[in-house]
Amino acid sequence: MMTTSTKWPCVAAIGVGLAAALLVPQMAETHTLLNATIYTSLAIYALSMALIWGYGGILCFGQAAFFGLGAYAYAVAGINFGDSTFALPAAVLVPALFAAVLGYFVFYGRLTDVYFSVITLTVTLILYKLANSTAGEAYRIGEARLGGFNGMPDTPPLNLPFDPAQPLTPAQGFAVTIAALVACYVLCKWILSTPYGRAIVAVRENEVRAELLGHDARFIKLTVFVIGAAIAGLSGMLFATSVFVSPTVFSLANAAQVLIWVVVGGIGTLVGPILACGLLQALSAYLGKIGFIDPAVMLGLVLIGSVLLAPKGLLPMACGGFTQAKRRLRNARSAGLERSHAS
């Protein structure tokens, strides 16, 4: 059972998602709708990092590895099966299994957080190099050519279940991506409301103390890492259907920007990184369009400003300001009542 503090955010998320899925396609042009779909898929990517870092305390520099594996797994499975119905679960299972193997050796090997961050970043760069080196006819999986640095421009679009002849329209694709974001958010909120979720936070706060209380810290960190990888794989798949698959999904820039979204939005929140992802992506697209400043430089400046001015993130700062304003209003009202009674 969800608590009240968990249930209402989920209800609000479902309401906002339903409104967006119904209204945005009616108001936006096709180009804008496709961009909104891309931003939403990246918001799921941000959510995966918000879960494992903000709540699990696992600073993963290589989340792009699972994002990219989801994209490539979908493209390969979709081309071979000719149907996105079977490719979708592959996009979730492949990165989850990869994370389970990698996480087992890292967490059960008792490697420290610094080594974990370096290993995940190294794995991402290896996959990036490998994906760039697969040009030519010899590099194929079944019917799917990996394409090397050119990527896989023939990535199949999403289609109706078990009906490859009926690809989804841009409006339907946007609705599916919104539904996936809401579902992942509700899943994360539900997980965190359970005893397992409280154990995740306990391990983040003090791993030794959590183990003394009977929790298996290694298993908890492994499972939340796998869940985060599965969500990242889903986001990679949705991103691939909106653009196409290329080695840039494993790039260092892709690995870094998700960290920036979480820091700017607020570590320890789920909504903050989602909002930061959308705002920063829209800002990057606008600056790239007008050519005023390089978007990468802008992201760096935003990160520095956030760390200096709002170290807890923009959402916690805004919520804290709202709480303080309510407290001051309540105190002022109480003081006014006391003066009126005194008079």
Give the DSSP H/E element, type plus range, for residue 216.
Answer: none
Name the percent of the chain in helix, strand, coil, to the closest 5: 75, 5, 20
**39 exposed, middle or buried (CB, 10 Å; 0-12, 13-18, 19+)?**
buried
Tell me the Ramachandran region of residue 4: left when phi exceeds 0, alpha when psi lies from -120 to 50, beta otherwise: alpha
In the numeric block, which tokens belong to residue 140? Answer: 């194929």
List the pLDDT tens digit at each of the 343 positions of the chain: 567 677 888 999 999 999 999 999 999 898 899 999 999 999 999 999 999 999 999 999 999 999 999 999 999 999 999 999 999 999 999 999 999 999 999 999 878 888 898 999 999 999 999 999 998 888 999 999 999 988 998 889 999 999 999 999 999 999 999 999 999 999 999 999 999 999 999 999 999 999 998 999 999 999 999 999 999 999 999 999 988 899 999 999 999 999 999 999 999 999 999 999 999 998 888 887 887 778 788 888 888 888 888 888 888 888 765 555 556 656 656 666 566 655 5
Rounded to two decimals, the pTM is: 0.92
In the numeric block, which tokens belong to residue 227? Answer: 């869940």
- Predicted local confidence at residue 89, as pLDDT: 94
Give the contacts of 38 (CB within 8 A, at least 6 positions apart): 239, 242, 243, 281
Map residue 164 onto helix, strand or coil: strand
- Predicted local confidence at residue 248, as pLDDT: 93
CA torsion through residues 85, 89, 92, 97, sign: negative
The Cα–Cα gap between 91 and 204 comes to 28
The Cα–Cα gap between 215 and 108 comes to 14
Domain ranges (residues) in the chain: 4-251
- Predicted local confidence at residue 230, as pLDDT: 97
Give the contacts of 300 (CB within 8 A, at least 6 positions apart): none
In the numeric block, which tokens belong to residue 29? Answer: 């042009």
- Predicted local confidence at residue 305, as pLDDT: 87
Radius of gyration of the chain (CA): 22
- Predicted local confidence at residue 302, as pLDDT: 86
The Cα–Cα gap between 33 and 40 comes to 10
The Cα–Cα gap between 32 and 254 comes to 22
- Predicted local confidence at residue 332, as pLDDT: 57
DSSP, residue by residue, 16-55: HHHHHHHHHHHHS-HHHHHHHHHHHHHHHHHHHHIIIIII
The Cα–Cα gap between 211 and 64 comes to 30
The number of beta carbons lying within 10 Å of the beta carbon of residue 341 is 7
Give the contacts of 183 (CB within 8 A, at least 6 positions apart): none
